[in-house]
């Protein structure tokens, strides 16, 4: 009798302990279903993808060369190497950007010491045309307010390199950002004061109306600026705020491009800076904006920037564009080099270009927004 | 790196000769076997694979369970109430890797009703089990009801030992209530395993 009673008590005790350990707010199967499958057969497995652009009915991702897939194909399917004979068989893509004129790519040939500038090509109407024969060492292309900006490396030596920001108008025309020792950041257009913004080192520059006439914004925070962004969602929105990302992980917000009253930390430690920054639509009616900030450490941080600069939390705790287990099994393991959102406030596709060279993951991920909700999470490309 | 399936197969292959040789040492030649009768008892071990089939329910956007094939192990007991009809229970475990690299562990504890047919040196069995399970992924645990149904074919090595192959379908409901009802899921898993039983 004692044995039976003890057995019953033990089973009861086990059940109570087991139930107490359960968490009704956490779904074991549902969290597993939100995970991303990492595939070692991906084109982008263990690669660094610097950026991606959307043009026409295709996505174009940049590795050393260019890969494209139709926008209509599913994630991870249909990626093909862009084998354009006019680029040369040993081409290296140094930058990509899209304006209303088409898709621009900067091409050089050969690797390392044998690398030689080729030029800037434009895809429009299905045909590639060389629109500029480069002698400059092009480092990046940026499109802002339908202007194509070009970052060039002008000199290099043991003591460092110098860079310039130019823009394409038949030829490469110089701006006032010339001979700077820190490579210029991306260029953004802030519609509130109709100005272009770019930064180099600790200096923030603006130009109104641009694309020349850049001058130093003396009221900018005294930090090393690594990235710029606005809260405009591409194709559908006007900006109301301008953001500065810094090498210490601090993000600053301005509504006029002159004063920067708000700053928040978006990093694990001030040793790790901001490498990417993009606003995406948020909330059930599409009225909200969230700022995604890629960290040079791993993963990204998210904050509500709908009407101010909210506090940043990591992607696995804020869960704005992906659930915790989905984030942990994808971008939580590598730095995100750039975010690219294509779509409206209601629906679209968000790409994250990452550095997966040191981890067993793919370097390109996509996430879908549909019916005003981020529901699918990150999927490996 | 070996996959979970490879590890499970290695375990089965490792167990198989051990059980077979032990049985042969005690009984060198097959004997004419008798059907199971009232009062007979079996203690069994099984080892094999668990193949996640699909997961549905709640607000699931996909039926993909996002689990890789894993391994399973179980310990069971059966008592024959009448000719061929047995009741008993089992404690099982299963391990699967998730797509995201986490470890999914499950331990069902269930009572069993089974019917056995004996045909010369072979036994056939169908069984259903009902009970509960404890599952764990990362640091999160969950309990819930559990059911499985299936059967197998077993070679009666002698009147002491049987060895065979069995498959079972596992239904693993994970029930959430109130504001978290959307997290409810029904896991569906197929077990395929090698089974060895000692006749008491």
The model's pLDDT over A360-381, given as tens digits with 9 standing for 90+, comes to 899 999 999 999 999 779 999 9
What number is the average pLDDT over the span B79-90? 95
Q: Determine the Cα–Cα distance for residues B104 and B69; give it in Å rounded to an integer.
A: 11
The per-residue pLDDT for A7 is 66
Does B176 score more than 90 pLDDT? yes
The per-residue pLDDT for B18 is 46
Rounded to a whole number, what is the distance in Å from the CA of B22 to chain A's nearest CA? 34
Top pLDDT among A102 and B160 is at A102
Locate the chain A residue with the closest alpha carbon to B178: A24
Q: Determine the Cα–Cα distance for residues A367 and A352; give it in Å rounded to an integer.
A: 8
CB–CB contact B100 A21 (8 Å): no
Confidence of residue A319 (pLDDT cuts 50, 70, 90): confident
Rounded to a whole number, what is the distance in Å from the CA of B151 to chain A's nearest CA? 26
Locate the chain B residue with the closest alpha carbon to A36: B100
CB–CB contact A28 B140 (8 Å): yes
What number is the average pLDDT over the span A311-319? 92
Per the listing, tokens 């569906």 go with: B188
CB–CB contact B140 A33 (8 Å): no
CB–CB contact B100 A18 (8 Å): no
What number is the average pLDDT over the span B98-121? 92
Residues of A in contact with B65 (CB under 8 A): 29, 32-33
With an 8 Å Cβ cutoff, the interface of chain A facing chain B consists of 15, 18-19, 21-33, 35-38, 325-326, 328-330, 375-376
The per-residue pLDDT for B200 is 86
Please give the interface size between A and B, counted as residue pairs whose CB atoms are below 8 Å apart. Answer: 96
Does B22 score more than 80 pLDDT? no
Confidence of residue A92 (pLDDT cuts 50, 70, 90): very high
CB–CB contact B55 A36 (8 Å): no
User: For the stretch A191-227, what's the b/e string if a residue is b when 16 or more beta carbons lie within 10 angstroms of its beta carbon?
Assistant: eeeebbbbbbbebbbbbeebbeebeebeebbebebbb
Q: Flag whether the pTM goes above 0.90.
A: no
Rounded to a whole number, what is the distance in Å from the CA of B141 to chain A's nearest CA? 5
Locate the chain B residue with the closest alpha carbon to A331: B100
The per-residue pLDDT for B109 is 96
Residues of B in contact with A18 (CB under 8 A): 134, 141, 143
Query: Which range is least confidently modeled, A34-38, A218-222, B93-97?
Result: A34-38
Using alpha carbons only, give the angle B51, B57, B58 rounded to the nearest 5 degrees. 135
Does A18 score more than 70 pLDDT? no
Q: How many residues does chain B have?
A: 200
Q: Determine the Cα–Cα distance for residues A8 and A242; give it in Å rounded to an integer.
A: 66
With an 8 Å Cβ cutoff, the interface of chain B facing chain A consists of 55, 58-62, 64-67, 98-102, 104, 134-138, 140-143, 172, 174, 176-178, 180, 182-185, 187
Rounded to a whole number, what is the distance in Å from the CA of B153 to chain A's nearest CA? 32
CB–CB contact A27 B183 (8 Å): yes
Mutate which: B62, B63, B66, B174, vs A, most A CBs within 10 A: B66
Half-sphere exposure of A247 (CA within 13 A, CB side): 11
Q: Determine the Cα–Cα distance for residues A84 and A90; give it in Å rounded to an integer.
A: 11
CB–CB contact B137 A329 (8 Å): no
Locate the chain A residue with the closest alpha carbon to B55: A29
Confidence of residue B1 (pLDDT cuts 50, 70, 90): very low
CB–CB contact B62 A375 (8 Å): no
In SS3 terms, chain B reads as CCCHHHHHHHHHHHHHHHHHHHHHHHCCCCCCCCCCCCCCEEEEEEEEEEEEEEEECCCCCCCCCCECCEEEEEEEEEEECCCCEEEEEEEEEEEEEECCCCEEEEEEEEEEEEEEEEECCEEEEEEEEEEEEEEEECCEEEEEEEEEEEEEEEEECCCCEEEEEEEEEEEEEECCCHHHHHHCEEEEEEEEEEEEEEEC
Rounded to a whole number, what is the distance in Å from the CA of B87 to chain A's nearest CA? 19
Q: Determine the Cα–Cα distance for residues B111 and B48; give it in Å rounded to an integer.
A: 20
The per-residue pLDDT for B17 is 46
CB–CB contact A28 B65 (8 Å): no
Does residue B92 contact residue B72 with C-beta atoms inside 8 Å?
Answer: yes
Residues of A in contact with B61 (CB under 8 A): 33, 375-376
Locate the chain A residue with the closest alpha carbon to B61: A376
CB–CB contact B141 A24 (8 Å): no
CB–CB contact A35 B134 (8 Å): no
The per-residue pLDDT for B32 is 62
């Amino acid at each position: 009798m004692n044995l039976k009673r003890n057995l019953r008590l033990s089973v009861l005790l086990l059940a109570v302990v087991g139930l107490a350990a359960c968490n009704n707010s956490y779904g074991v199967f549902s969290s597993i279903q939100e995970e991303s499958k990492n595939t070692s057969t991906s084109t982008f497995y263990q690669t660094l993808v610097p950026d991606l652009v959307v043009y026409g009915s295709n996505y174009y991702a940049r590795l050393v060369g260019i890969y494209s897939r139709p926008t209509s194909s599913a994630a991870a399917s249909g990626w093909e190497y862009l084998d354009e004979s006019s680029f040369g068989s040993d081409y290296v893509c140094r930058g990509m950007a899209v304006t209303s004129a088409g898709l621009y790519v900067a091409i050089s040939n050969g690797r390392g010491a044998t690398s030689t500038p080729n030029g800037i090509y434009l895809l429009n109407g299905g045909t590639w045309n060389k629109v500029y024969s480069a002698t400059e060492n092009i480092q990046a292309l940026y499109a802002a307010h339908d202007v194509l900006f070009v970052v060039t490396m002008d000199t290099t030596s043991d003591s460092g390199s110098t860079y310039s920001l130019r823009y394409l108008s038949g030829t490469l025309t110089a701006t006032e950002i010339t001979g700077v020792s820190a490579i210029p950041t991306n260029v953004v257009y802030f519609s509130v004061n109709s100005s272009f913004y770019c930064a180099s080192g600790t200096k923030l520059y603006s130009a109104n109306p641009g694309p020349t006439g850049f001058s130093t914004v003396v009221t900018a925070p005294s930090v090393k600026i690594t990235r710029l962004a606005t809260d405009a969602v591409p194709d559908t929105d006007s900006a109301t705020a301008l953001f500065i990302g810094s090498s210490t992980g601090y993000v600053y917000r301005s509504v006029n491009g002159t004063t920067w009253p708000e700053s928040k930390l978006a990093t694990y430690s001030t040793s790790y800076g901001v490498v990417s920054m993009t606003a995406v639509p948020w909330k059930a009616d599409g009225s909200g904006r969230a700022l995604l900030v890629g960290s040079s450490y791993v993963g990204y941080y998210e904050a509500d920037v709908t009407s101010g600069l909210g506090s940043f939390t990591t992607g696995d705790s804020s869960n704005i564009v992906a659930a915790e287990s989905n984030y942990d099994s994808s971008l939580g393991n590598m730095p995100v080099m750039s975010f690219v959102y294509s779509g409206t406030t209601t629906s679209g596709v968000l790409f994250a270009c990452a550095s997966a060279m040191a981890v067993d993951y793919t370097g390109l991920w996509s996430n879908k927004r549909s019916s005003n909700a981020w529901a699918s999470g990150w999927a490996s490309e | 790196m070996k996959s979970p399936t490879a590890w499970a197969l290695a375990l089965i292959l490792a167990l198989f000769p051990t059980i077979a040789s032990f049985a042969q040492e005690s009984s060198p030649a097959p004997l004419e076997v008798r059907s199971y009768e009232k009062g007979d008892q079996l203690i069994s071990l099984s080892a094999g694979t668990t193949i996640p089939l699909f997961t549905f329910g709640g607000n699931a956007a996909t039926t993909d369970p996002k689990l890789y094939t894993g391994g399973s192990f179980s310990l069971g007991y059966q008592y024959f109430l009448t000719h061929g009809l047995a009741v008993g229970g089992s404690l099982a475990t299963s391990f699967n890797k998730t797509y995201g690299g986490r470890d999914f562990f499950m331990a069902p504890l269930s009572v069993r009703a089974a019917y056995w047919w004996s045909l010369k040196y072979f036994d056939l069995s169908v069984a259903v089990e009902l009970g509960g399970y404890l599952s764990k992924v990362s640091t999160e645990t969950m309990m819930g009801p559990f059911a499985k149904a299936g059967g197998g074919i077993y070679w009666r090595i002698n009147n002491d030992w049987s060895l065979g192959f069995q498959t079972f379908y596992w239904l693993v409901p994970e029930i959430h209530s109130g504001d978290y009802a959307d997290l409810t899921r029904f896991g569906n898993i197929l077990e395929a395993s090698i089974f060895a039983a000692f006749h008491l």
